[in-house]
Amino acid sequence: MDRLDNTIRPYAWGSTTAIPRLLGTEPTGEPQAEMWMGAHPGAPSRTGRGTLVEVIDADPEKELGPDSVARFGPRLPFLLKLLAAGGPLSLQVHPDLTQAKEGYADEERRGVPVTAPHRNYKDANHKPELVCALTEFDGLCGFRDPLRAAELLDGLGVDTLKPYVDLLHAHPEEAALREVLTAILTADREEMARTVTEAAAACDRLGGAYAPYADIAHHYPGDPGVIAAMLLNHVRLQPGEALFLGAGVPHAYLDGLGVEIMANSDNVLRCGLTPKHVDVPELLRIVRFEAGDPGVLRPEAGPDGEEVYETPIDEFRLSRYVLSAGGTIRDLTLTTPQILLCTAGSVRAGEHELSPGASVFVPAGEKAEVSGTGTLFRATVVVRRP
């Protein structure tokens, strides 16, 4: 197995302390938002044999296993991250596989450069994702019931929000959510900025259920995404709890440290809370206007102490092991590729001693014995046999 040397991305919303605290390093004063583990071309992990992209390209079947190559092609189909939010990420959705393929092909046909700021589809893949909290972790996930959203907006006492409140009461669920989100994102920017400023002051004054939106407004003053965010469920995960985010589900992470895994894609359509491009017509085509519970996941006990976060996705499978002193050596060998990440304590994986934040890549079929005292996350793929 290969010890990984991973890139930390300094996105502006990142925490300045969470990842250094986990790694046991001194903060630099700069945001440290994400640590990437995998073979994404934007920041591939490095090994003693070269980057993980180079290692896999040299012999895909040996590194990934024939089953994974047959199912997903000669690439690692997932990206694993440590994610440390010190402020809200952009409010966003991801396309399903068909939408991604169609959108990518259309922009290629029209000659839109992949690096263009108005490009929506950087690749032809979908981007389902799962985030598991390592600390208390706040986020927004999926639409509230329209009547509950109307109650929240009405409670602000802002006159310019009354038309949205009326729309949420007047239509069936899907139509109500669609019309209100469309109205928010297409409103006159100056008028919306005034509405957001007034709403933010009310959120500050009221606190309680409004506190998360006051904080969002402090980070993004005047942004229409502040009002759009109030249409969504606010979720606070406890350590070990997780959220699965499928195609078309609007979401944003607000604060906290977690382990995130996703299909290896960059496809994001933004709704707000960002200075970046917002393509409203394409966004409205992708969003699923369905209200519901965000569905907090807790790990399900598997054999040999494995705790699995079950999702309907084959490109990734995330699980964890909580290892105790004096425990037996566990054999984690699989016929699929793995990344093992230590998040607490001290874990021995093969010949590697892993402290928090350290990780290894295990090629398909390679012996993977672990022991120690701590928490170990395992990322791999699912290959379903006919």
Angle, helix 173-186 to helix 146-154, in steps of 10 degrees: 40
| Token reading at 362 | 């295990």
269 phi and psi, to 5 degrees?
-115, 125
CA distance 230 to 211: 11
Active site residue 270: yes
DSSP 8-state code for residue 134 = S
Task: Output phi, psi for 366, to 5 deg.
Answer: -80, 140
List 46, 144, 270, 378, catalytic entry? 270
Tokens of 80: 């694993």
Neighbouring CB atoms inside 10 A of 110's CB total 7
Phi, psi angles (nearest 5°) of residue 153: -65, -40
Question: How far is it, in rounded angstroms, from Cα 91 to Cα 189?
Answer: 17
Instruction: Give the Cα separation of 142 and 323 in Å (integer).
Output: 34
Residue 169 to residues 153, 158, 160, 174, 234, Cα–Cα distance (Å) = 12, 17, 16, 12, 21
Give the active site residues.
Answer: 270
